[in-house]
Every structure is written in C-alpha cells, then in structure tokens.
A and B are shown apart, each in its own frame.
Chain A
Amino acid sequence: SQTIHQWPATLVQPVGSPLSLECTVEGTSNPNLYWYRQAAGRGLQLLFYSVGIGQISSEVPQNLSASRPQDRQFILSSKKLLLSDSGFYLCAWSEGLVSYNEQFFGPGTRLTVL
C-alpha cells in the first residue's frame, strides 16, 4: 500500500532563517506531487506541483522554492523565512494526469516563524 511521509511535524524558526521540509511517498512510481499551504481552519493554497523528477511548476510567486531530486521525494525550501510563511504545509500525491484522481495527503508540517 502507498504511504506518504512528511517531516518535521512541527517547526519553529526565526525570521530570516532557511527552511527545508521533506516529503516522501512509498508504494507508487512516478506520482504527481504537490505542496499546499493552509491557513488555520481554511482552504488549501497550491504552492508547487511536479509531474516528474526535476519538473517543478510554481503556482504563486513567493519566498519559497521546491525541488524533486528523486521520483518519490519532494522538498520545500526557503533561503530566508518571512513571518508570512507561517502556516500548515501539506504534501500530497496523485496518480496520472486526470483531475479526478484522488489526492492523498501527508500528515502536514506546522511551521511557525517568529
């Protein structure tokens, strides 16, 4: 069966510090991968998506970047965090390219920038 992991689960970082969040998927090959950010109790904002190794598409201009160094590994990074980067970050995967394929979400990372 497929599983998706995210770490760390929680993170408190000072403004201006770097960031690296990792997401890995097990039990599937060539998944589509997504990074979302969620404000408290609200909807999900798509940040990045990837359809293959080294292929990253950015949805909104921001202080963040993403990389996919391996087929089932997706990394979210920042060189200098801003207060506005605080939030709940979710990684997700899906199979295929059709929009009605279910997206499977990881447990999320709670990031607080102070």
Chain B
Amino acid sequence: TQLLEQSPQFLSIQEGENLTVYCNSSSVFSSLQWYRQEPGEGPVLLVTVVTGGEVKKLKRLTFQFGDARKDSSLHITAAQPGDTGLYLCAGGPKAGGTSYGKLTFGQGTILTVHP
C-alpha cells in the first residue's frame, strides 16, 4: 500500500509570510498532483507534476517533484487570506500497472492566513 505523508498538518501564518508544505513517501509515484479545497466543497486541482525534478510555478505558488519521484513540495510566497484552505497532495501509482486513474491522497494541510 502506497502512503503519502503531508506536513505540517496545520499552518497558521500572517499575510505576507512564505510557507512550504511537504508531501513524502517511501514509494515511487508516476505523478504527483496538488489540490486545494475550501470548506463544504470538492477539491480543485492546482497542478500535476510527472517528471522527477520538475518545477512548476503558478503565480505565487511553486511546486516541485523530487528527483526520485517519492516526494513533492508546495511553496507559497507572500501568502494572502485568499490562500486559506485545505491543501492535498495525491500520487499516482508507479507506472507499469493498470492504475485506472487511482490516486493516493495525503492527509492534507490546513492553511490559515490571517490578514
């Protein structure tokens, strides 16, 4: 069974601060996705990384996939109150099998950005 460990579980910061959320596993993943979820709603995809060492930027958000494709990080620069939410990483199983699009989700990081 593949597991994804997210840290920290909770993050409470002031507007303008930087933060990093980590997603780690002992397993290799074919891809790593990051989702953001607001209370009472379904998760919304932020980014997908599929190549070891890949870095993607989405405005103030920077996503990185580890070289060995076992870990990933999400860095937010100058956080804003609108960034508040639950951030979830999700890994696709190692290539070679029939994955049926199944993802393994981390336990999530609850981010609160205070104005």
> A: which residues have CB within 8 A of B?
32, 34, 41-46, 49, 51, 57, 90, 92, 94, 96-108, 110
Whether the pair A90, B42 counts as a contact (CB closer than 8 A) is: yes
- When A44-B88, A49-B100, A100-B31 are in contact, do A105 and B44 touch as well, CB less than 8 Å? yes
* Chain A residue at minimum C-beta to C-beta distance from B48: A100
Whether the pair B103, A97 counts as a contact (CB closer than 8 A) is: no
Whether the pair B50, A42 counts as a contact (CB closer than 8 A) is: no
Selected from A45, A57, A105, the residue in CB contact (under 8 A) with B43 is A105
In the assembled complex, how far is the CB of residue A55 from the closest CB belonging to chain B, in whole angstroms? 10
Bound: A104/B44 CA distance, A: 7
Q: Place the interface of chain B in its size category.
A: 20 to 34
Q: Which of B30, B41, B100, B110 counts the most chain A CB atoms within 10 A?
A: B100
- Count of CB-CB pairs between chains A and B under 8 Å: 76
Whether the pair B101, A108 counts as a contact (CB closer than 8 A) is: no
In the assembled complex, how far is the CB of residue A7 from the closest CB belonging to chain B, in whole angstroms? 14
- When A100-B31, A103-B45, A107-B42 are in contact, do A42 and B100 touch as well, CB less than 8 Å? no
Chain B residues contacting A94 (CB-CB under 8 Å) are 101
CB of B105 within 8 Å of the partner chain = yes
* Chain B residue at minimum C-beta to C-beta distance from A99: B92
